[in-house]
C-alpha cells in the first residue's frame, strides 16, 4: 500500500516517526513537508519538499502568520493532489491537526482517498479550542477515517471539543529501546533536563529547586539540554541565585547524540505545564533514569508515583527539591525496582515495535476497508 504523509516535524521527530511507521514493511510512504536544511532519508520513503521554509505557519493563530498559512495550504494541496494521482497513493496521513491535517483532509476529499489525522497534543491544547479555526477543524476531523489522541486525557479533550469521529488512543512516535538503553554506571547526583527552553516547559522551576537544595547543603549538578528563548534568562537567574557553577547548559544537541546524556544521568526532571506524551520522558525511562515529573494529567498517564517514578506539584520548586532529596536517599534496591518498572512501561506500551504494530493495523484498515 502507498501512503502520503503530510508532516512538518523537525528531522529528529521525523526520524522517530518513520522508524515507527516503517515497522509496517508492507507500506511505501511519500513524505510531503516544508523545506529543511538537513536532507532527510528513510528506507521506504520518498521525501518531497515544498518551496517554503519551516518558519512558515509556525503559529497559525497569529494574524501576521495568516498569509504564510494560506500559502502553505495552497502549495500543499496542489503538491498533494499531484502526488496522490501520479504515485497512485492509497491513503493519506496528516500529522498535526492544522494546517498539515487540513491539507491531508482536502486532498483526501478531492481525490476520494481516506485519511487519518494523528493529533500531536499541542494542536489539541492550543489550536482546536480557538473558535476561529474550530469549525474548520471539526469538519476535517469528522470526515477523517480515524483520529488519534496520544493519551486518554487528549481523547477526552477532543471529545469535549465536539469530535465524534472514531478517536483512537495511541501515540505515533515509538521509542527505540535498543538505542535508549540503561548504562551500568551513572552519575548519582546529576539531574537532567531535556526540552526546549520555553515557558511551557518551566525550566526556571528547576533553577529555583537547585537554589533550595544548595541552601539545604544538598549539592547536585544540573545538566540542561536544548535551546530556546529562555536560555539567557536561565543562565542569568542561575548566576544571580549563586548556583551557576552547578549548572551546565549543553545547548542544542543533535538527536543522534542525545542518548549519551540519559545514559550518564541518574535523575531526569520534566517540570512542564503542558505535554502530550513526552518523548524525552519516555527516552529517560527507557534509559533507566529515575524520573520526576509535574503532576499534570498527561504526565500522570505515564508515571505512577513510587512505581516507575516521582511526581511533584506543578510550579512548586520546594516540592521538586523535596522529591530530588527523596530520590537521593533511596537504597539501591529501590532504585533498581523503580528504574526497571520505568523501562518495562516503555517496552510494553511505547516502544517502536508496539506503537508501530498499532499504527500498522490502522494503516491496513485504512486502505482495505
> Residue 55: its pLDDT value, please?
54
> Residue 56: its pLDDT value, please?
40
> Residue 267: its pLDDT value, please?
98
Where exactly are the structural domains of the chain? 2-174+351-368, 187-349
> Residue 63: its pLDDT value, please?
43
> Residue 57: its pLDDT value, please?
41
Q: How far apart are CA 32 and CA 208, in angstroms?
A: 43
**Domain 187-349, CATH among 3.40.50.300, 3.40.50.2000, 3.30.470.20, 3.40.50.620:** 3.40.50.2000
Averages of pLDDT over each 10 residues, the chain, 369 residues: 92 86 88 76 79 58 67 95 95 94 96 95 85 88 94 92 89 94 89 96 98 97 96 98 97 91 96 92 98 96 97 98 98 97 98 95 85
Which runs of E-coded beta strand occur in the chain? 2-6, 28-35, 45-53, 91-95, 114-118, 146-149, 167-169, 187-194, 221-225, 247-251, 265-270, 290-294, 310-312
Three-state secondary structure string covering 334-353: HHHHHHHHHHHHHHHHCEHH
Q: What is the pTM of this model?
A: 0.92
Does the structural domain 2-174+351-368 have CATH classification 2.60.60.20?
no
CA atoms within 13 A on the CB side of 209: 28
- The reply to whether 187-349 shares the fold of 2-174+351-368 is yes
> Residue 80: its pLDDT value, please?
97
Amino acid at each position: 500500500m502507498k501512503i502520503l504523509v503530510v508532516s512538518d516535524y523537525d528531522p529528529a521527530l521525523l526520524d522517530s516517526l518513520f522508524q515507527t511507521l516503517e515497522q509496517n514493511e508492507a507500506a511505501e510512504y511519500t513524505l510531503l513537508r516544508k523545506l529543511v536544511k538537513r536532507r532527510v532519508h528513510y528506507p521506504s520513503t520518498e521525501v518531497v519538499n515544498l518551496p517554503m521554509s519551516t518558519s512558515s505557519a509556525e503559529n497559525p493563530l497569529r494574524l501576521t502568520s495568516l498569509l504564510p498559512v494560506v500559502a502553505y495550504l495552497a502549495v500543499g494541496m496542489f503538491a498533494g493532489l499531484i502526488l496522490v494521482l501520479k504515485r497512485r497513493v492509497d491513503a493519506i496521513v496528516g500529522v498535526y491537526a492544522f494546517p498539515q491535517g487540513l491539507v491531508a483532509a482536502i486532498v483526501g476529499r478531492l481525490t476520494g482517498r481516506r485519511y487519518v489525522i494523528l493529533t500531536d497534543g499541542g494542536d489539541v491544547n492550543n489550536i482546536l479550542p480557538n473558535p476561529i479555526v474550530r469549525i474548520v477543524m471539526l469538519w476535517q476531523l469528522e470526515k477523517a477515517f480515524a483520529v488519534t489522541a496520544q493519551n486518554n486525557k487528549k481523547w477526552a479533550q477532543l471529545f469535549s471539543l465536539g469530535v465524534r469521529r472514531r478517536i483512537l488512543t495511541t501515540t505515533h512516535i515509538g521509542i527505540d529501546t535498543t538505542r535508549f538503553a540503561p548504562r551500568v554506571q551513572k552519575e548519582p547526583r546529576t539531574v537532567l533536563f531535556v526540552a526546549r527552553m520555553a515557558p511551557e516547559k518551566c525550566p526556571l522551576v528547576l533553577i529555583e529547586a537547585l537554589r533550595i537544595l544548595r541552601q539545604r547543603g544538598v549539592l547536585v549538578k544540573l545538566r540542561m539540554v536544548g535551546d530556546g528563548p529562555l536560555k539567557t534568562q536561565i543562565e542569568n537567574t542561575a548566576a544571580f541565585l549563586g548556583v551557576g557553577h552547578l549548572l551546565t547548559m549543553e545547548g542544542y544537541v543533535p538527536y543522534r547524540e542525545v542518548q549519551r546524556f540519559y545514559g550518564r544521568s541518574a535523575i531526569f526532571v520534566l517540570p512542564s505545564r503542558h505535554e502530550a506524551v513526552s518523548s524525552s520522558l519516555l527516552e529517560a525511562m527507557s534509559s533507566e533514569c529515575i524520573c520526576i515529573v509535574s503532576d499534570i494529567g498527561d504526565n500522570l498517564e505515564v508515571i505512577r508515583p513510587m512505581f516507575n517514578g516521582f511526581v511533584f506539584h506543578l510550579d512548586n520548586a520546594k516540592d521538586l527539591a523535596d522529591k530530588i532529596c527523596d530520590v537521593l536517599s533511596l537504597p539501591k534496591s529501590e532504585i533498581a525496582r523503580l528504574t526497571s518498572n520505568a523501562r518495562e512501561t516503555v517496552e510494553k506500551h511505547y516502544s517502536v515495535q508496539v506503537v508501530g504494530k498499532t499504527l500498522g493495523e490502522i494503516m491496513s484498515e485504512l486502505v482495505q476497508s
